[in-house]
Structure 1
Amino acid sequence: MPGQSGEAVQVLVARVYREQSRRILATLIRLLGDFDLAEEALHEAFFVAVERWQKDGVPDNPRAWLVSVGRFKAIDALRRRARFAASQAALVSQLEHLEQHDWDGEDVQDDRLRLIFTCCHPALAADAQVPLTLREICDLSTEEIARAFLVSPATIAQRIVRAKAKIRDAGIPYQVPTLDELPERLDSVLRVIYLVFNEGYSASMGAELTREDLTREAIRLGRLLLELLPEAEVLGLLALMLLHESRRGARLSSTGELILLDEQDRSLWQRALMDEGCALVERGLRSGRGGAYCLQAAIAAVHAEAPSAEQTDWPQIVGLYEVLLRLQPSPVIELNRAVALAKRDGPAAGLEQVEAILQRGDLQDYHLIHAARADFCRQLGRVEAARESYQRALALTRQAPERRFLEARLAQLVSSSA
């Protein structure tokens, strides 16, 4: 409605950007056929919205309005460029295509799944597919993506730029693959969706431990993918995300402090999500075609089914991790197995495995392995070694609740040894 204050409109526009900008961007990329042009158009549209919505009122369908304004802004920008670069045939052709294909504002479909498959096209370098998708679908910064991949922001930025250029120059289609093509394209898409979920479930940096918008988005995309391709690993991934998400509300105290799995109030776990996740795990495992995601979901299901931390079936979890390691060797999976082994056989068994990983040179910059080593050493009474590992973990942690948790552990260690 007209007459809203400038401040109220700015708050509203910020909320629409936070909730809808990735969907709007995906549609603009489909309509414009150009990542960079679509991103410019997106920001132009939101800039216009701040002024126009204050004067004319908020439109009934803000997303359609923003897509329409962004499209017209992009066409205007191309017209200006064409006047000064008439010799550039590609630019003129792009403008003609946009002008000839009108858009009535009704076709505001959800294009994010289409965009994921474009970003994960096999013609793109494997190490660029996931960063590009995280950037375009989830609006993660290069710093956040770099943190997830344990590489520099400059490296991530270069990968994204090269991937965009490849999509443009090779004319990679902006579409969901045919059913025949889907299986070979699936691994990259599953990896992307899971990384989106992980960033939401345990943010790589910042004041908040979780980002519900990202976990919700990843689960929504997982459901879309399951409708499109009901394969065992899609079932497994969706189950894994649902089972983790069921525990999210119990991971923080009322004051925002991190609560470990063993100490969580299980009455706060969302039973509906747990039941759905466990049912999906069973479907995936029964198919006989389950892989790494089904196994990880099975591990999460064992936790979900335990009435209490003390009644957790740790031998089964260790066994599942051993199968997972054979299927997908990884130092992170080794670390998770070491934690399960410590629960089954004691901290010395876990510490031995962690030391072996570190001695190989793996996970040196991964804060969780140093936190695990510190915890094992603390339980074994090796105070100095525990202190050094807690300090190393703290130096590598950028997530505020995790930092406070480690600082508290370190303070407890110092006071107990005083």
Structure 2
Amino acid sequence: MNKILILFGGILLRNIKTSFVLFSFFILIFLAACGGSDETNSGEGSSEKIILKASSGVPEEHVWFEALFNPWMERVVEETNGQVEFELYSGGELVDIGSEFDALESGLIDIALPVFNLYDQKRFPLSEVTMLPTSESDSAIISQAFSSLMYDEHELKEGKSFYDLEFGDKDLKVWGSSMGEPYAMSTTGDPVEKLSELDSLKLRTPTRLTEVYTKHLGATPITMPQTDAYDALSRGTIDGNFISVGDWKSYGYHDLFSYTLEGANLGHFNAVFGMTNEKWESLPENVRTAMDEAAKDLIVDPNATEVMMRLDSEVRELASDNGSVFEKLEDKSPVIQEAVNKAMVETWYEWIDRLEAEGHPGTEIAKLWRQLVEENGGEVPEGLELE
């Protein structure tokens, strides 16, 4: 089995496991001979080499690696002077998407890159808040809002914050991911001009919230894995999908989608990455500091959001060259605008009611999310009233 390791200077190396172990063994012997028992790390904890097994359900070609995971690992290696190494398994090689929490708890892995909390809504019921519809938002706006949601002490229930309720209470130490561009409705058909055309659509829905929105829109929601959607679109089993434009190329959708309705943003996909609290507490203070500072910097790093936006622009250009049409909601008829906006507002209300019925602070987190989105330059659907 091949492994990817991040070594001195943050350089990515691919090597055979056995060869690497032998190489590391001889290096350690050499260092021990040179430094003896005087090896230190400037008094900031043990200088013992730390190898952390990290797993990702997405391949290394995924935008998260370019925007977040690689920069984070490289910075941690650099700031600990090579004390930390990451043994990386990607593309679901070790842990399938959605199984990260169990893999962390069992000790199979040390770090999940990322934990797909949106795919585990019973365990992480509040995380879906970033998928609430907006009328104006982008990667930079939502990354800032999500950073505040994760790290600022906004009380939601019994003195606890979003982070406390979602992750701290589950013995996790995690950080937020960079946020991509918004999910939008894209189809293989012509531009939508009549309400009856919306009613006839069969749309693949990736989350509960997109399913709720689709029902309020009058269309038919279809649940299936993203990996099956290309064939379903090609055969006409479904008419469209909700997905960020920047993700099209990963699935070949740039050759299929002919129409996208913008201005009805069906949220932004979030994820978190990290480890168990037990693992976190076992790390030296200097390592914890390096990890924490790097992660909190990168979620709002302009370079990370630029990567997300650049990918979106590249795919748009490619799709447009293939004849795909991108249309703004504000350019549609008043009847279409009203129907879409009403569906977005009703999606907020239904989500809040569901959370409250389950004993969660649905109203409080919805009000907080609206505040954070608007404070960072975004807009929520017209007519949304939260009291």
TM-score range, shorter chain: under 0.3
Q: TM-score, normalised by structure 2?
A: 0.27
Q: Which has the higher contact order (CA 8 A, sep 6+)?
A: 2
Q: TM-score, normalised by structure 1?
A: 0.26
Between structures 1 and 2, the one with greater helix share: 1
- Highest CA radius of gyration, 1 or 2? 1
